[in-house]
Amino acid sequence: MTFDIILFGLLMVLLFLPLLQRKTTFIPIKPLKGVFETTEKPELTFDNYKDGTYQGQIEKYISENFGFREPVIRLYNQYVYSFFNKTYCHFIVPGKNGHLFYDQAVNDYYGTEIPKHFDSDEAFMAKADQEVALMKLLRDMLHWYGIEFMAFMAPDKPSVYPEYMPRRNPRQPDAVKCVEYYDTKMTEAGIPHIEMTKWYQQIKDTASFDVFTKTDSHWRFSAVYGYDSLFRYMNSLNDFGIPKIHIGPVQSYTTDKLEGDEETLNLLFPIKGTNTKYKADITIETDSTTRKPRVLFVGDSFIWSLEEFLPWRDIMENVEIWFYNSTAYVGFEKETFKVSEINKLCSLLNADYVIYYSAGHQWWQTSYGFLEDAIQQLNVSDSLIQLTRQMNAIRNDEHWKKAIQIQASMQGTSFDQMLRQEATNVICGNPLLKDITPMDKESIIRIEKEKIENIWRSNSTIMNQIKEKAKAKGISVDSMLKLDIQWVINQKIEKGELFNN
Amino acid sequence: MVFSSNVFLLYFMPVFFLVYFLMPKRTRNYVLLFASVLFYAYGAPEFVIQLVLSTIANFFIVRWMCKTEKPVRKKLLCALSIIISLGLLLYYKYGNFTMENLNALLGLAGKPGLTWTRILLPIGISFFSFQSVTYTLDVYRGINKPLEKLSDFILYIMMFPQLIAGPIIRYNEVADQIRERQSTIDDRLQGFYRFVIGLCKKILIADVIGAEVDAVLGPSNYALLSVEQLNDIASRIATLDTGTAWIVALAYTFQIYFDFAGYSDMAIGLGRIMGFRFPENFDNPYNSASITEFWRRWHITLGNFIKNYLYIPLGGNRVKHKSRMYLNLWLCFLISGLWHGASWNFIVWGALHGLFICADKLFLTKLMQKLGRIPSVILTFLTVCIIWVFFRVERLDFAWMFIQRMFAFDFAPIYFSANSQLYVTMIVAAFFSFFTLSKFGLKMQEKVYFSEFSNKKHIVAWCLAAFAFVFCIAALNATDFSPFIYFRF
């Protein structure tokens, strides 16, 4: 009898444990990972009680907030993963041998994704053709502003590792696949783009690292090579002078720290054989000819590896990310806004490159509305006229024009380029040069002299020539340097390059 | 409120039992009554007052009926009480159905339909209406005396463990227990074990299978779906391969059993914790060798109700012509079908069962006996499985289309080909469904459900139950799928 009472007492304790933990958190618990919406505790009113909304909300609220929720959820997740190779993580599906895949990517591989969103393959192809036409139009429009547009198809894991794919029923073999169709059409339309999957397929057997880690549907360390290719390709479009990325030898190491999609599975135990990670020393090469671009990325979650694995501040002057064309992360500090709330035209015109990127299987989502938005923003009928008017206004303001001439000279760029930049700044509400007091001639000459001296001193060939001339004339190197600089300045004055109209 | 919800498992149940057991014995019925009203008011706020008022009215009508000497008045009062109980049921459950069919007929006659606001079905109305009827009739027939206290009667009707999905408890089965009952510690522990067994049946088997059934057939209540959603379901059914169609039919066969039997286990378990002994509602129905046997094992309390309060009053077996008996039987099953839901598919489902029951009496039982037990069980199971299609697919045209797909012999790749959880769960469900076909299985069932527990057995059972309870809460929260099928009836 006493024994039964103890068991019954323990039963009551068991029933009350979650309540106790919720109120006191007497056992500290590791939180669940991943992004999930949380329900606010509903307020009980007669109306929401009567129509049943309170009951629905409080059930959801309790479901998200009861004591010991985290270990309990991990327990069930572990059960379905271990016994049925299944997860409750949104969109992530386990394949063979511990590999994790993105559900849509798997569907696209089997040709079953397109029919979910389009009535027929023809409907998808018509939409894709229209999309490619929009890309071409946007590229032409951005070109007028001196901005490059390109597309970047991040690699799809299923096509790289089909041997680890979860088993599904494929559609007919000739079913349209998103990646292949867009790749072909963009090539035909002459839109600069990179399709990374093919390259990853080629290197997967010879690379000294896993091009996709087991437990992530995204690329991880291998993204370093992908982004290296991207920046090289960007530079090849207009010889911008983007700093070069040097990747040192790849080293593997083990860690118990979970990362990527495995973390968001919220299991009790790590997936077996997944703790090998990779790293390499990455250096960025710069010289007097290199320039860091300002880049606007529009796309999906494949971008985050850029921040994680590369010193992105050393490569780019500024970065803006429009995540699914919905949330804008501005600058390296990733200040967050809604895309709908920012000045899109300003963001577009302030970029040197606009990169539309996405994993191949996501391209059916038709750029999340970005292309239409951007074209609308840049529409000749308003933005171009606005820009032209602003440039004319600056030209007619002697004071302002002078400031721009000086600035152009100091930065080594043309007057027109500086004028367009300033006009763009004005449109964005941030004129930089309007109220600057023009410098006197002496100051301009002094600044120009300093600039030339800095460039020459960092160039060993020029310095050697100057040393030889100094030796021949029997004067010091510094005196020779000053004489030569003065000669160049005189030439510039004569040609009107320093104080021209 | 449902048993497999966080509100119930994490708040209502612990707090209720703590308060219930801390209170002196004489006040426990009041605690239970208060909790039951709260339980129902939480889930059906708009209907709780009507339920309480109709229950109070019935209590006084029945008391009046007992006191009156005149047989005619007695009959009238009995009829009034039954009209109140069944009137609510008819209005809430069959109002929409009647109006829809009436308007359809008016439409055929070229006349405009009548305007009608759809009525929401109060949860559990079919169960407590029948319980109320059993009370009235048992008292009228003199089987039992009426309850003295109004609170006891309300408790009998509204007791939360069995309020919304049964078992349908005849008044004479619990009358004494309401007045006086013993709840030993052993009862409390074994009641909890039984509750957890039910919870596992519901959450770990029925819900897992149900999610997959829904993926093909859509949500179960088609009245709430849009035309587009119905078109989607129709096109899915039309393109089903034979393998998938059979898997879905089998899956639903297991889902409905584990869902409903799970609920009954939970109700019986909760009752036992408080010292109540509710009647069993299931006795391994899929082990039946005929449809007649199936109905002796499936939803036993409903079968008993139909038998005692419908079949026997209609004349039962003691009728002059056998044809009348068959008609009575068939009518009973037709009404049983209609009780399950106000739509034509339920009527067809009941009618088919009625036909098989008649066929059993005519020739089928003898034929099955010749075949032997196991082949008969298999054939009966498959028959039940096919007839369940009419229960699940609420549109007759869809149901017929589905049955055609089951026999289309179109063996394309199966829709669920990679869903190991579905297959494993179905195998587990099949194992527990047929386990008691063996003597060993029966013995095990006896030991788990009905025997006394030693200390050693308690430790093992407690640990298993505690783990299973936590695991069910885990499953409930890791997935978001947990509606009970039988609440709609």
pLDDT band at B452; cut points 50, 70, 90: confident
d(CA A221, CA A306): 10
Query: Chain A: nearest CA to B246, how far in angstroms?
Result: 18
As to burial, measured by CB atoms within 10 angstroms (0-12 exposed, 13-18 middle, 19+ buried), residue A60 is: middle
CA distances from B257 to A495, B191, B205, B486 (A): 96, 21, 10, 10
- Strand order, beta sheet including A318-323: A193-195, A148-154, A353-359, A294-299, A318-323, A327-330, A335-338
Domain end position, chosen among A438, A463, A483? A438
Residue A214 tokens read as 């087991």
* Residue that is last in its domain, among A336, A360, A378: A378
pLDDT above 90: residue B471: yes
CA distance B63 to chain A (A): 33
Task: Confirm whether A276 is domain-assigned.
Answer: yes
> Which of A11, A76, A83 is the closest to B474 by Cβ?
A76
**Domain assignment present for A38:** no
| Gap between the Cα atoms of B360 and B353, Å rounded | 10
Collapsing DSSP states into helix, strand and coil, what is residue B187? helix
CB-CB: which of B188, B455, B476 is closest to A8?
Answer: B188
Q: From A16, which residue of chain B is nearest by alpha-carbon distance?
A: B14
Residues A478 and A394 in one domain: no
Judge whether A67 lies within some domain: no
Judge whether A463 and A456 are in contact, CB under 8 Å. Answer: yes
Interface test with A, best of B192, B458, B477, B484 (most A CBs within 10 A): B477
- Contacts A15 to B, Cβ<8 Å: 13-14, 17
Determine the residue of chain B that is closest to A70 in CA distance.
B474
* Cross-chain CB nearest to A63 (options B18, B462, B477): B477
Searching chain A, which residue's CA lies closest to the CA of residue B12?
A15
Give the model's confidence band at B482: pLDDT under 50 very low, under 70 low, under 90 confident, else very high: very low
B164 against A187, higher pLDDT: A187
Q: How far apart are CA A69 and CA A360, in angstroms?
A: 36
In this prediction, residue B31 carries a pLDDT of 93
Could you tell me if A384 and A369 lie in one domain?
no
Pairing of strands A282-285, A335-338: unpaired
Residue of chain A minimizing CA distance to B475: A76
Instruction: Report the residue of chain B nearest A22, measured CA to CA.
Output: B10
The nearest CA of chain B is from the CA of A59 a distance in Å of: 6
Is there a catalytic annotation at residue B321?
Answer: no
What's the pLDDT tens digit per position in B309-351? 888 888 877 778 888 888 888 999 998 888 887 888 899 999 9
β partners of residue A152: A194, A357
User: Which of B10, B471, B477 lies at the smallest CB-CB distance from A19?
Assistant: B10
Q: What is the pLDDT of residue B92?
A: 83
Q: Is A316 part of a structural domain of the chain?
A: yes
**Closest by Cβ to B455, choosing from A3, A55, A88:** A3
| pLDDT bracket for residue B483 (50, 70, 90) | very low
Q: Which domain holds residue A414?
A: 380-438
- Tell me whether residues B421 and A5 touch, CB distance under 8 A: no
Q: Compute the count of residue pairs across chains A and B with CB atoms less than 8 Å apart.
A: 102
pLDDT single digits (tens) A335-353: 899 988 888 888 888 899 9
User: What end-to-end distance do the CA atoms of chain A give, in Å?
Assistant: 106
In chain B, residues with a C-beta closer than 8 Å to the C-beta of A11 are 188-189, 192, 462, 466
Structurally, chain A folds into a number of domains equal to: 3
Find all residues with CB under 8 Å of A350, minimum gap 6, and list them: A294, A296, A318, A424, A428
Per-residue pLDDT of B222-242, as tens digits, reads: 877 888 888 888 888 888 889
The DSSP code for B450 is: I
- Helix (H) / strand (E) element for A276: namely strand A276-279
Confidence band of B215 (pLDDT split at 50, 70, 90): confident
Report if residue A75 sits inside a domain: no
Domain contains A317: yes
A51 close to A226: Cβ distance less than 8 angstroms: no
CA B144-B146-B150 angle, to 5 degrees, is: 145
- Answer yes or no: do B10 and A62 touch at CB < 8 A: yes
Residues of A in contact with B46 (CB under 8 A): 50
Confidence (pLDDT) at A383: 66
CA distance A4 to chain B (A): 6
> Same domain for A219 and A304?
yes
Whether residue A352 is found in the same domain as residue A452: no
CB proximity list for B298: less than 8 A, separation 6 or greater:
B282, B285, B288
DSSP assignment letter at A372: H
Question: Of A340, A363, A378, which residue constitutes the final position of a domain?
Answer: A378
Query: Is the residue at A344 inside a domain?
Result: yes
- Inter-CA distances, A396 with A157, A399, A400, A401, B229, Å: 57, 9, 8, 8, 64
Residues contacting residue B438 through CB under 8 Å, at least 6 positions apart: none
What ipTM did this prediction achieve?
Answer: 0.82
Distance of alpha carbon B77 from its chain centroid, rounded? 29
Residue A148, classed as helix, strand or coil, is strand
* B299, B321, B340, B353: the active-site residue: B340
Q: Are residues A351 and A409 in the same domain?
A: no
Residues linked to residue A101 through DSSP beta bridges, in sequence order = A93
In this structure, the answer to whether residues A268 and A399 fall within a common structural domain is no
Residues in chain A with CB shorter than 8 Å from the CB of B420 are: 83-86
Look at A80 and B413 and tell me if their CB atoms are within 8 Å: no
- Say if CB B265 and CB B201 are below 8 A apart: yes
B108 burial (CB, 10 Å; 0-12 / 13-18 / 19+) is exposed
Q: Which of A1, A7, A96 best probes binding to B when mutated, by most B CB atoms within 10 angstroms?
A: A7
Could A80 and B185 be called an inter-chain contact, meaning their C-beta atoms sit closer than 8 Å?
no
**pLDDT < 70 positions in chain A:** 1, 35-36, 169-173, 259, 273-275, 366, 380-384, 412, 429-440, 498-501
In this prediction, residues B53-75 reach a mean pLDDT of 89
More confident site: B167 or B205: B205
B413-435: string of b/e by CB count within 10 Å (b at 16+)? ebbbebbebbbebbebbeebbbe
- Regarding whether A317 and A211 lie in a shared domain, the answer is yes
The model's pTM is: 0.74
- On the 0-12 / 13-18 / 19+ scale of CB atoms within 10 A, B129 is buried
Say if residue B23 is exposed, middle or buried (CB neighbours under 10 Å; 0-12, 13-18, 19+): middle
B18: nearest CA in chain A? Answer: A12
Alpha helical stretches, state H, A190-340:
196-203, 223-238, 261-265, 304-309, 312-315
Least confident of A331-335, B134-138, B413-417: B413-417
Which residue, A417, A432, A400, A429, is CA-closest to A145? A417
Task: Map residue B49 onto helix, strand or coil.
Answer: helix
pLDDT in tens, B263-306: 999 999 999 999 999 999 999 999 999 999 999 999 999 888 88
Which of chain B's residues have a Cβ under 8 Å away from the Cβ of A3? 455, 458
How many other CB atoms are there within 10 angstroms of residue A123's CB atom?
13
Q: Domain-by-domain residue ranges, chain B?
A: 6-180, 187-289+372-488
How far A267 CA lies from chain B's nearest CA (Å)? 12
CB contact under 8 A, B14 and A166: no
Work out the average pLDDT over B249-274.
94
Cross-chain CB nearest to A1 (options B43, B46, B185) = B185
